[in-house]
Amino acid sequence: MSPLERRRLGSGLVFISPWLIGFTVFLLIPVCLSFYYSFCDYSLLQTPAFIGLDNYRELLGDPVFWQSLRNTGVYASLALPAGMLVSLGLALLLNQKVVGQSIFRTLIFLPSLVPTVASAMLWLWLFNAKLGLINTLLDMPPFAATIQGINVALGAVHLPQIQTPISWLTDPAWALPALAFMSLWGVGQTVVIYLAGLQDVPGELIESAELDGANAWQRLWNVTLPMLSPVIFFNMIMAIIGALQEFSIPYIMTGGGPARATYFFTMYLYDNAFTYLKMGYASAMAWIQLLIVLLLTGLSFWLSKRWVHYQSK
C-alpha cells in the first residue's frame, strides 16, 4: 500500500468511524451479547449464569409464547395483504394525472406523520363501541343493510353472525382484525415508495402494449405490475418484518387484551425483559424472532424468482 493509499484509508476510517463505533457499540456487541444471554439466567442485575438450552426449552412449553406467536401470525396474515393491496391501489390512483394530485398525495401521506400514541388515542375513539365513528357509520342504512345481508348469508351456512354494535377492542374475535384494519392508517410511506416505482415503469412499454390493443387491466397486469415487482417485493419484506415486530399500537390500545387476544410476540418479549426481569428468556425470544424473520425472508426470496422481474435481466 502506497503512502497515499494509506493516508486515504486513514481518512476513510476516520470519516466512517462515527458509524463504525456506533454500529459496534450499539448493535454488534449487544447482538452478540444477547445471543450469549439467551443461554443464561440473567436479570440485568445479576451476573449471567449459563444454563444451556433451558430458556429455549422453557419457551417451547410456554403456552403464552405460542399464543403470542399465533396472534402475531394471524395479525401479519391479515395486515400484510391488506396493507399491500391498499397501498398499491392508492399508489395507482395517485399516479393518475388528475387535478389536485399533489393534494391527494399529501393527504394520503399525512397520517404516517402522526405520532403513534396520538394515532392510538384517535383510533381508540374511532373503535369505541358506543360513541365511535366506525360503529356510527355501520349503523347507517346502507351499511346496516349490508351487515344484515352478510348475516343472512352467514346464517345460511350456519356460521356465527355479526353482532352490532361491534365491540372492536373488547371482543376477542374482533380485536385482532380491528388492529389489522387500523394498520392501514400508516400506509402512506409504502404508497410513496410505490409511487416512486411507478415513475420508473418505462412509458414505452405501456405505450407499445396500448398499441397492441391491451386494455387498462391488461396493461396493469402484464406491464405495470411485473415492472413494479421489485418494489412490491421490497415492500413485502419490510411489511413482514414490520408486522412481526408490531408493538406500540397494541401496547397502547389494548395492553394485549382481551384475554391475551392481542398479545403480540414483541409484547411478551418486552414484558419478559423489563417487567418480569428475565433478560435471558427475552433474549432467547428475540433470537427465535430473528430466526422466523430470516426464514420468511429467505422463503420470500426463493419464491421471488417466480414473480419478481428486474429490468436489467
Q: What are the residues binding other proteins (CB under 8 A)?
A: 14, 41, 43-46, 49, 51, 58, 61-64, 128-131, 163, 165, 167-172, 257-260, 263, 271, 274-277
- Per DSSP, the three-state class of 44 is coil
Q: Check if the beta carbon of residue 156 is closer than 8 Å to that of residue 163.
A: no
Closer CB to other proteins, residue 89 or residue 172?
Answer: 172
What is the nearest approach in angstroms of other proteins to the Cβ of residue 43? 5
Cβ(43)–Cβ(273) under 8 Å? no
* Least gap, CB of 109 to other proteins (angstroms): 30
In terms of CB distance, is 40 or 239 closer to other proteins?
A: 40
Give the residue with the Cβ less far from other proteins, 268 or 287: 268
Measured from the CB atom, the residue of 43 and 248 that comes closer to other proteins is 43
Euclidean distance between CA atoms 197 and 199, whole angstroms: 5
CB of 91 to other proteins, least distance (A): 35
Q: How far apart are CA 36 and CA 30, in angstroms?
A: 10
Question: Minimum distance between the CB of residue 169 and other proteins, rounded to whole angstroms?
Answer: 7
Query: What's the min distance (Å) between Cβ of 185 and other proteins?
Result: 20
CB closer to other proteins out of 51 and 205: 51
**Got the DSSP string for 147-206?**
HHHHHHHHHHTT-PPPPSS--TTTSHHHHHHHHHHHGGGGTHHHHHHHHHHHHTS-HHHH
State how far the alpha carbon of 163 is from the alpha carbons of 126, 127, 171, 174, 198, in Å.
Answer: 18, 15, 11, 11, 42
